[in-house]
Chain A
């Protein structure tokens, strides 16, 4: 009996060893991102960028190209410029799987990794942003959320550490309503029209609702709110409602597999894709390609960077990919989300550059980088110099305004590529500003935050 038990254990152990061994081998084959190797401990004299990414799970199709773009740009700055004014960039990735708890764990893991701590964080998830916002007040590390996060966090007097650079869900939904109004021949023509919002049932999807309701009151259209439960692969009930109600337009606020599922359901329901408008997180290649031909005619907002390649891509090919250092096997190179990740990295690097003017050319703390973020001014000339011409709109931030202006275009999937429609959309800030103020005040009251007085701070 004893002997048999022994045999059983040996077999089990051997099996485990085999499983572990084979995956380890695979890992060596696929070693996409040798991140840990680089940043086990960042020595002094280096600027440390934590990278919260998701390369697994339901949101991986969108998380991978974004992370690749972000990491590739950081590598480019090191390879081409020798770092930020000579200060080498180090970085480390941490897999969040888009889950809030793991995101917070990654944040805690990385926030103190180098002598100066983490430069800034891109949570890449609205849920994680909400959780980290809470921590930012004590940790004093900026949270950058270009095009996502809390809409009210553009108010820098309350949200001292949040930077929704270049847009929020209120500005994006406002632009979409304006665009639809234009198509109808004027915002007043929206009266009596039916607009459905198909949204991810999480803070991310719920963010645009207040703005849409505000616009609904102004223009008298009917707003259908159709939530889709995480991860969004089951949407039959939602699209049944769309079939019954026949809305004039569908706004899509999805992420990951939810987007492609929505488009496939639209095809199955026979809802015209031309009448569908996605937010900038619902308008990338992984969202439309699974639906095949059916996705043709689907529209979405662009945010900062549409698909395509520009001067900076040539540099990345030359300095990073040619050396075989491409993140994640070049997956998604030049696609919408890759470019967005790259642009996000660029804005972060520019913020550090800006802060170096004030604090000197040395590794900077998160607190110092915030000054750079608050005084960021990337104008058309700077965009051109950085090789991002055509990939972003100028932004200019201040202590009060952490968004720095927002502008976007509509692009349409023609079956093989995204075609950008000319004409910049701009949000109507006269509607958004009072809402921001009210919401931020409420947050400050709940959290018992003392508001910053921007007039008193030296800039």
Chain B
């Protein structure tokens, strides 16, 4: 009744191709932006920003990156935390060795370094597919872990292999309070979401999807697999590189190679599987599910005044979290984004379903 596009006529191609074709969606989006930019910083405490929202925002960028590769181009990767590590250490070294660089430039350069590394590790994708490719990207994970743990130059000869960063300053603005970090990351996330959204609607995105759906057919109609697959690897690693740099500088502040281990790679993969493959919106849902839910679950017993030991709360967290993953995948194998779409579909018919 409320959510219905009756009477909204498109009279130009531009209107037909816009990102949010339905008027109500645009209103919702504006309201959402006002809410996240103006209302949330005013009402939430530091804890929510530091422990929930900041990791959520950063990992959403990483999840979008991985989704471009896995969801849109159909190339599995088990090594994306490694590309995050490349971005983080590239940014660390840039800030350390060329201190006059602006942080935004550092971010882009770190992303480019990660993209270059991603390109190299994407080469096997030209010959192998599916699970075999997954195993090949696993090599990236282990190799890059090893490099940062053993080659001392990357960590500036820190004796424990742990590096630390100074607060970020750019244009005379020191980003150190949780709210500032949140606003900065949110703006970055919006920019990267827009880029990703437009990439997948452009000819590059269509090439990726053609490769995903059937590579032989794509080749027959004139899509070069080398170009399509390697651009996907490069763009995806670029995103992850930037996310990695942000993860190090904005979230951790001090980190060791372990911060970017296989667990993080798998978590990224879970995010896009649970959120929805081939959906940018799904990355948001997936990241929220993986990052925020366990922490919330862990505190629920305390909130409802149910006195249990911390160990039991921790065990419960794992069990319920696991059960929820199974539940959502059983209900909707295409992820939370698909559930969202179904919900919207139902809302259009409400209150008179056929």
Contact = CB atoms under 8 A, between A and B. Distances in A.
Given A105-B295, A446-B156, A56 B315 contact: yes
Interface string A40-53: 10000000000001
A36 B311 CA distance: 12
A28 B306 CA distance: 9
B307 A36 contact: yes
Interface residues of A, number: 59
Contact of B308 (A20, A36, A138, A202): A36
Given A32-B309, A207-B160, A27 B316 contact: yes
B166 A95 contact: no
A55 B311 CA distance: 5
Interface in A169-224: 201-204, 206-207, 209-210
Interface residues of B, number: 46
Contacts of B310: 33, 35, 53, 55, 93-95
B39 interface: no
A40 B254 contact: no
B33 interface: no
Given A30-B309, A135-B253, A206 B160 contact: yes
A130 B254 contact: yes
Contacts of A40: 302, 305
Contact of B159 (A100, A126, A209): A209
Nearest to A327: B309
B219 to A, nearest CB: 41
Contacts of B204: none
Given A443-B164, A447-B166, A95 B156 contact: no
Contacts of A95: 298, 310-311, 313-314
Interface string B302-334: 100111111111111001100100010010000
Interface string B55-69: 100000000000000
Contacts of A55: 309-311, 314
B345 interface: no
B134 interface: no
Contacts of B305: 37, 40
B195 to A, nearest CB: 27
A99 to B, nearest CB: 9
A36 B301 contact: yes
A100 B258 contact: yes
Interface in A125-143: 126-127, 130-131, 133-135, 138
Contacts of B165: 134, 446-447
Contacts of A207: 159-160
B255 interface: yes
30 contacts: A12-B327, A12-B330, A23-B312, A23-B319, A24-B306, A27-B316, A35-B309, A35-B310, A56-B315, A60-B311, A93-B309, A100-B252, A105-B295, A109-B47, A112-B45, A130-B160, A130-B162, A130-B164, A130-B256, A133-B254, A134-B252, A138-B176, A150-B160, A204-B160, A206-B159, A207-B159, A230-B258, A443-B164, A447-B165, A448-B166
